[in-house]
A = this chain, B = another copy of it.
């Protein structure tokens, strides 16, 4: 087990890296876990980060890396066991380089996603990753959790946008692989192994990121669809018509709109009361005005019965309004207060059946369902809420069974219980239950050989092996 010998550890750390511990280092957004108060160290350089890791290895103290702290599966707080050192990337926020002509940017891990996006924008380029929390989320955390967001349909998740990484491995050595190359087939893909490993195999300190040239024009529409199945057929139609130019395809439920009306009535709803709608964004070539292309899609889709009503944004401001609605759905959910949230993915052809079956299975349990999210990726946020007049607490005894029921139905259809948020500490039991045992054994073997002391984010992703 780990040794919380903070005084001994402090003496081993580089000068000036310790920070006063404040509550923010111990919190995670869902409030499900609270971290223990150990040391907080914020390196100013990769070398300092490596020295901190070496010190922790020597003192046998666990390390929890922390970026913006926005992760939703409690990978950033360690509530049990000996208190860890929290390694905050807050001082490693440099833009190390920007090569617009290469569509490449190298960022330190503590840069916020918004800052990365702004830097790209300032050079006439786009870093496509986009999340509601991007003003706070650090790019290192986005990579450690392989964040998804609203543009993964077109541009992939964080993994697909990373060309190379610099990382401190568990023994304190620095992996230097910040290449600015699209193609490099020289050995095992350690980059993708560390991406999504949630700080359990090393700490990403910097990354080489792939930018894109922004499309000549973008267009946004909100379309009312008769069903999620119709939405998926619409997506295929749109992808063919738009030649892969569909950037986002977000499902919005009537329940989500109702929560929005109730909690954030100032947000204008272009399709009020629509039981199902989608927010569609396209990026299109020069010579094809998005409104023309979207109108033609709308006509085609209405003729096929795939769309019942629709609004095409007539200005950038209106497009921003549509997105503002989408981005406030999670806030409305928080204001209502979910009983349980699920970040699931399904094979696309299983989605409609799942929504029907899960709705039927949950009907006797007196809950409201807000099912929304990145439909184009097969990724739904399937969240359960109390019926009007009842409180979250009334469901305390049911929560676990309800979540299990949802996850079981997802797994039975070849889906995933964590599409984009990761495993963290919240879903370790789910991974143990549903993960392929051969895959789990290989993961444990890799963890054991790269982190034999078990100091990297102990208890996240994989349950902690007994000492």
- Residues of A that sit less than 8 Å from B by CB: 99, 101-104, 145-146, 148, 152-154, 156-157, 159-160, 169, 173-177, 179-190, 192-193, 195-197, 201, 212-217, 232-233, 236, 239-245, 283-288, 292-293, 296, 345-349, 374, 376-379, 414-423, 427, 430-431, 435-436, 438-443, 445-450, 461-462
> A183-B377, A183-B420, A193-B193 are contacts. A175–B439 as well, Cβ < 8 Å?
yes
Contact between A292 and B284, CB atoms less than 8 A apart:
no
**Which 9 residue pairs are nearest across A and B when measured between Cβ atoms?**
A215-B243, A192-B192, A180-B347, A213-B239, A449-B449, A184-B416, A183-B419, A102-B348, A288-B288
Q: Most chain-B CB neighbours within 10 Å: which of A175, A186, A431?
A: A186
Contact among B104, B173, B185, B415 with A347 in the assembled complex (CB-CB below 8 Å): B104
Contact among B233, B436, B449 with A175 in the assembled complex (CB-CB below 8 Å): B436
Contact between B287 and A181, CB atoms less than 8 A apart:
no
The docked-state distance in angstroms from the alpha carbon of A287 to that of B217 is 15
Instruction: Specify which chain B residues have a CB less than 8 angstroms from the CB of A284 in the assembled complex.
Output: 243, 285, 288
The docked-state distance in angstroms from the alpha carbon of A415 to that of B184 is 8
Contact between B418 and A378, CB atoms less than 8 A apart:
no
Q: List 15 A-B contacts (CB under 8 A).
A: A99-B347, A148-B185, A179-B414, A181-B346, A181-B347, A183-B419, A185-B196, A186-B418, A186-B435, A188-B447, A212-B239, A213-B240, A240-B286, A241-B285, A284-B285
Instruction: Specify which chain B residues have a CB less than 8 angstroms from the CB of A185 in the assembled complex.
Output: 145-146, 148, 157, 196, 416, 418-423
Instruction: Specify which chain B residues have a CB less than 8 angstroms from the CB of A148 in the assembled complex.
Output: 183, 185
Indicate how many identical chains form the complex. 2
Instruction: Specify which chain B residues have a CB less than 8 angstroms from the CB of A146 in the assembled complex.
Output: 185, 189
Instruction: Specify which chain B residues have a CB less than 8 angstroms from the CB of A438 in the assembled complex.
Output: 169, 173-176
Contact among B176, B442, B449 with A448 in the assembled complex (CB-CB below 8 Å): B449
Q: Most chain-B CB neighbours within 10 Å: which of A157, A187, A376?
A: A187
> A145-B185, A377-B182 are contacts. A160–B157 as well, Cβ < 8 Å?
no
The docked-state distance in angstroms from the alpha carbon of A285 to that of B419 is 30
The docked-state distance in angstroms from the alpha carbon of A216 to that of B185 is 33
Instruction: Specify which chain B residues have a CB less than 8 angstroms from the CB of A160 in the assembled complex.
Output: 156, 160
> A192-B193, A288-B287, A288-B288 are contacts. A99–B349 as well, Cβ < 8 Å?
yes
Contact between B446 and A188, CB atoms less than 8 A apart:
yes
Closest to A160 in B: B160
Instruction: Specify which chain B residues have a CB less than 8 angstroms from the CB of A442 in the assembled complex.
Output: 169, 175, 188, 190, 450
Given contacts A177-B436, A243-B245, A286-B293, 18 further A-B contacts (CB under 8 A): A99-B349, A146-B189, A159-B192, A169-B438, A174-B438, A180-B348, A183-B374, A184-B418, A185-B419, A188-B197, A212-B244, A213-B239, A242-B285, A285-B293, A287-B292, A287-B293, A445-B450, A448-B449
